[in-house]
């Protein structure tokens, strides 16, 4: 079943995800948390945020890494993510922009299983 995803935009949402669970993958880090009942977001919605620090590279390299993270999120989180959860994908220097997309999709799938596990 394909779920609807929305992009995280507010810093407090990113900080709440940072305090929750995390799963490491070779090309990125995934942070995830189940939203509480009282939060204003739609409980049937999956929210995803993307971030890359300056360690990833200049603006061109960071944007490329985030585009790749968005693409794997569209492919994997829409089918394997859970409604009512927030996820943050964090790019890693050099690896996020260079790993094969098939490997990154498989890594994200494993990371989500670990988070939900």
Write out pLDDT tens, residues 54-100: 999 999 999 999 999 999 999 999 999 999 999 999 999 989 999 99
pTM for the whole structure: 0.92
What domain range includes position 103? 5-116
Provide the pLDDT confidence category of residue 4 given band limits of 50, 70 and 90: confident
The CA distance from 53 to 2, in Å, is 30
3-class secondary structure, 21: strand
Tell me the two tokens of residue 71: 């693409």
DSSP class per residue in 33-57:
EEPPTTSSS-TT-EEEEEE--GGG-
| Tens-place pLDDT, residues 7-46 | 998 999 999 999 999 999 999 999 999 988 887 778 888 9
Domain of residue 28, CATH code? 3.30.230.10
Overall domain count for the chain: 1
């Amino acid at each position: 079943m394909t779920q609807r995803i929305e992009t995280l935009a507010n810093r407090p949402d990113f900080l709440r995800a940072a305090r929750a669970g995390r799963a490491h993958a070779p090309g990125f880090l995934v942070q995830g948390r189940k939203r509480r009942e009282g939060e204003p977001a739609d409980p049937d919605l999956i929210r995803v945020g993307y971030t890359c620090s300056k360690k990833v590279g200049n603006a061109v390299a960071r944007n490329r890494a985030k585009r790749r993270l968005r693409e794997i999120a569209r492919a994997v989180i829409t089918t394997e993510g859970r409604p009512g959860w927030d996820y943050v994908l964090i790019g890693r220097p050099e690896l996020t922009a260079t790993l094969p997309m098939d490997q990154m999709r498989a890594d994200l799938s494993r990371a989500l299983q670990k988070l939900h596990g």
